Amino acid sequence: MNEATSPIFGNLNWQVTPYTDLLRDVNSSTIVGAGAASVLVLGTIAGVALLTYMRWWGPLYRNWLTSPDAKKIGIMYIALALIMLARGIIEGFVMRTHQATALGTLAQQESGLVAPDHFAQLFSTHGTIMIFFVAMPLLIGLINFVLPQQLGARDMAFPVVNQVSLGLTTVGAALVMISLLIGKFGTGGWTMYPPYTGIEYSPGEGVDYWLWAILISGIGSTLTGMNFAVTIFKERAPGMHFMRMPLFCWTSLCVAIMMIYAMPALTVSSAMLALDRYAGFHFFTNEAGGNMMNYANIFWMFGHPEVYILILPAFGVFSEISSTYSGKRLYGYTSLVIASMSIAVISFTVWLHHFFTMGQSAGVNIAFGIATMIIGIPTGVKIYDWMATMWRGRVRITAPIVYLTGFFLLFVIGGLSGIILANPSIDYQVHNSTFLVAHFHNVIIPGVLYGMLAGIHYWFPKAFGFRLDEAWGRRTAFLFVGGFVFTFLPLYVLGLMGMPRRSPTFQNPDFMPWMYIAGFGAVLMLCALTSLFWTFWTSYRNRLALAVPGGDPWNGSTLEWSTPAPAPEWTFPRIPHVQARHDWGETKRSNDPWRAPKQYCDIEMPSNTPHGLLIAGASFCFAFAMVWHIWWLAILSFLAVPGLIALRGMMIIEPKIIKAAEVEEADCRFRQQVANLSAVTRADEETSRNRGVPDVSEFAG
């Protein structure tokens, strides 16, 4: 940063990579840094080489990157999330390893695997990645894939906007990734509180990487929220009344509404911080009338609804799987709908509990403390509803049910520690300690991660035509449960013993046993991650044995199970007319559920376009240029975005027409296939006899 800014390369020079640090001083911290950068570089090279060797560039571009199909966009979101999940878990492992080796003495305070500044980058990227580039793409991806199918729609309301949203999210993830190699990431945690992250105390590119990643992906998420909401309001199949929608659609609606209202707050707080840093504004500075607590307020106006944005889709998944894998109708549908909506509304009234210690009056704290405790009630209602759904059902212990059971046991602990923290006077004692770290991991991992992985396991056959291996799926689930227990429950104890969060060093030897247990838990989490990827790989290899062309491997009751697996581009040969809440279940109870529609029509689908890709490319160049102060590139790429939109506006875009004959041919082939496959009972669900055609004499939904 000492050299003058170059007009062409901005602040970029050869000194910014971690290899420079490694050359300057070889120690465990610089080795870890350079190693991470090397993994990124080698991974990219390997990816490019594989795509080139397999000649996949063309298919990747034609079938995926330019596709406006919500199902494919959903799969791409989830692929992105899994890549980022790998980095996030590895970072968590490095942090736990560091703390297991970080016991210092009063004379020699710093110790452990990585340097304090490096540790701060680790917890900042870990939080940013896990929230914005794992949890968000996972749930957005899952909703993209499932929602239109459950509503009886062919696509999202705005397919091209959807593509742009995916592009913008990927840009954010790419910025965080590239900060491994070029420059450093911010050290202010995933919330990046000023004034520490202001230009005075955090000069350099770190905070800017975060800012642009958040601003750009945040716009993508806002557009996604709008897209989901409009899809639910306007694209439901005829007869799909609101109170007939599957619960997953309801929670998606809650998520959409929350995204529309919450994401702008994040955009505003980040934009204000950017103005402070780039243009010398005084929103959050110490001097000249700045007020950093405004940042905390605006950030958490987004941040608290955000945690419910994360959890509600998981609640939707649990509602689907608890019913399907118990062979019972969902208990308390209406109460679940009301509970979801209550959570969505109340979540906007609790943000202040993130800074009880700010110094406002006790009365204000109490009001927000009570609101926080109240939000536990609808959540409790849901847990009882799911348990009642499973009560006396024919529960099969599939991987999603392992996740659900783990969720029941662990999430309740996390929720209760949340109620404890909601009490301001207790919060004063344990705030900013690892007790808090344990609490939010305790709700996010069993809630969001288990929910999303359960959802992936549940809908995977619909996306790819074959089931995931149940044995490996269960092993993964058990490892994630065990990994969580060992990693995070000790942090409750450590927090109560006084261990501050985000601390790179400590001098109390009594912490060590708990640190070792947590370190062991981190090893289990790594094993779980490996096992997760192994599940995909081994299932892919056995895809013939696991194939479920009948499309209904779990005897489900919602519309998406009525189509082939993998679902065709147009999803439904004719838009279904919904008669009941559990429409596909009801259809299976009537005669001949797989009867063909009377006639087929041409289907209009949105045509492929590179629009999302181009906008993402321009946004990436803009963000990267802003981070490194390469002004010419920033201006050019910024202008490119409205230019691209205006250009597309001038073009007359014809939809892709799929001929009725083609639909009929594919649909008849599917129905023929279903007729030839033998039906499978639930008892044989896990065996290779499961071809996706359930025994309709067994009750579904």
Partner 1 sequence: MSETNLYPGLNLGSGHGEAHDQAETTVFGFWVFVMSDLFIFGILFASYASYLDPIGMAGGPGPQTLFDIKSVAIQTAFLLVGGVAYGGVSIGTKYEHGRTVVIASLLLCAALGAGFLFFEVKDFITQAGKGGVPQASGWLSAYWALVGLHGVHVFSGILWISAMIAQIAVRGLDDVVKVRLSMLGVFWHFLDLIWVGIFSFVFLVPLA
DSSP state of 326: T
Binder of partner 1 out of 43, 264, 376, 610 (CB under 8 A): 264
Least separation, in Å, of the C-beta of 608 and partner 1? 18
Q: Which span (74-82, 93-101, 262-270, 409-417) binds partner 1, by CB under 8 A?
A: 262-270
> Can you give the three-state secondary structure of 340-402, one letter per residue?
HHHHHHHHHHCHHHHHHHHCCCHHHHHHHHHHHHHCHHHHHHHHHHHHHHHCCCCCCCCHHHH
The Cα-based distances of 238 to 71, 147, 512, 576 in angstroms read: 21, 15, 61, 7
Binder of partner 1 out of 77, 283, 506, 622 (CB under 8 A): 283
**Cα gap 402→479, rounded to integer Å:** 11
Element (H, E) at 545: helix 543-546
Binder of partner 1 out of 4, 107, 288, 544 (CB under 8 A): 288
**Cα gap 693→561, rounded to integer Å:** 10
Binder of partner 1 out of 63, 291, 342, 673 (CB under 8 A): 291
C-alpha neighbours within 13 Å on the C-beta side of residue 678: 7
**Cα gap 307→262, rounded to integer Å:** 11
**Cα gap 501→426, rounded to integer Å:** 16
Please tell me whether residue 225 binds partner 1 under the rule CB under 8 A.
yes
Helix%, strand%, coil% for the chain, nearest 5 = 70, 0, 30
Please tell me whether residue 289 binds partner 1 under the rule CB under 8 A.
yes
Least separation, in Å, of the C-beta of 417 and partner 1? 31
In this complex, which beta carbon is closest to partner 1, that of residue 276 or of residue 686? 276
Please tell me whether residue 4 binds partner 1 under the rule CB under 8 A.
no
Q: Which residues in 617-646 contact partner 1 (CB under 8 A)?
A: 642, 646
Please tell me whether residue 544 binds partner 1 under the rule CB under 8 A.
no
In this complex, which beta carbon is closest to partner 1, that of residue 269 or of residue 558? 269
Q: Which residues in 292-351 contact partner 1 (CB under 8 A)?
A: 294, 298, 301
Q: Which span (170-178, 288-296, 353-361, 663-671) binds partner 1, by CB under 8 A?
A: 288-296
Least separation, in Å, of the C-beta of 234 and partner 1? 5
Q: 138-167 mask for partner 1 (x: CB under 8 A)?
A: -------------------xx---------
Least separation, in Å, of the C-beta of 602 and partner 1? 16
Q: 163-202 mask for partner 1 (x: CB under 8 A)?
A: ----------------------------------------
Hey, what amino acid is at 517? I
Least separation, in Å, of the C-beta of 269 and partner 1? 8
Least separation, in Å, of the C-beta of 630 and partner 1? 23
Q: Which span (133-141, 281-289, 357-365, 486-494) binds partner 1, by CB under 8 A?
A: 281-289
Least separation, in Å, of the C-beta of 110 and partner 1? 37
Least separation, in Å, of the C-beta of 197 and partner 1? 16
Least separation, in Å, of the C-beta of 228 and partner 1? 10
Binder of partner 1 out of 40, 116, 244, 282 (CB under 8 A): 282
In this complex, which beta carbon is closest to partner 1, that of residue 510 or of residue 604? 604
Per-residue tokens: 464:
């790819």
Least separation, in Å, of the C-beta of 355 and partner 1? 15
Give the contacts of 483 (CB within 8 A, at least 6 positions apart): 521, 522, 524, 525, 527, 528
Taking alpha carbons only, the member of 303, 152, 284, 315 closest to residue 231 is 152
Q: Which span (168-176, 287-295, 544-552, 659-667) binds partner 1, by CB under 8 A?
A: 287-295
Taking alpha carbons only, the member of 435, 443, 379 closest to residue 410 is 443
- Sign of the four-CA dihedral 265, 271, 274, 279: negative
Please tell me the count of residues contacting partner 1 according to CB under 8 A. Answer: 42
CA angle 99, 100, 101 (to 5 degrees): 85
Q: Look at residue 246 and give its three-state secondary structure.
A: coil
Please tell me whether residue 227 binds partner 1 under the rule CB under 8 A.
yes
- Contact assessment for residue 481 and residue 562, using Cβ atoms and an 8 Å cutoff: no
CA 194 to chain centre: 26
Least separation, in Å, of the C-beta of 283 and partner 1? 5
Per-residue tokens: 142:
């899952």
**Cα gap 262→303, rounded to integer Å:** 8
Binder of partner 1 out of 47, 238, 280, 513 (CB under 8 A): 280
**Cα gap 560→653, rounded to integer Å:** 29
Element (H, E) at 99: helix 70-100
**Cα gap 75→564, rounded to integer Å:** 17
Give the contacts of 99 (CB within 8 A, at least 6 positions apart): 112, 506, 515, 518, 519
Q: Which span (409-417, 418-426, 541-549, 648-656) binds partner 1, by CB under 8 A?
A: 648-656
Q: Which residues in 241-260 contact partner 1 (CB under 8 A)?
A: 260
Binder of partner 1 out of 290, 376, 566, 568 (CB under 8 A): 290
Please tell me whether residue 287 binds partner 1 under the rule CB under 8 A.
yes
Per-residue tokens: 562:
């009525």
Peptide bond preceding 195 in cis form (omega within 30 of 0):
yes
Which positions lie near partner 1, rule CB under 8 A? 157-158, 222-223, 225-227, 229-230, 233-235, 260-261, 263-265, 267-268, 271-272, 275-276, 279-283, 285, 287-291, 294, 298, 301, 642, 646, 649-650, 652
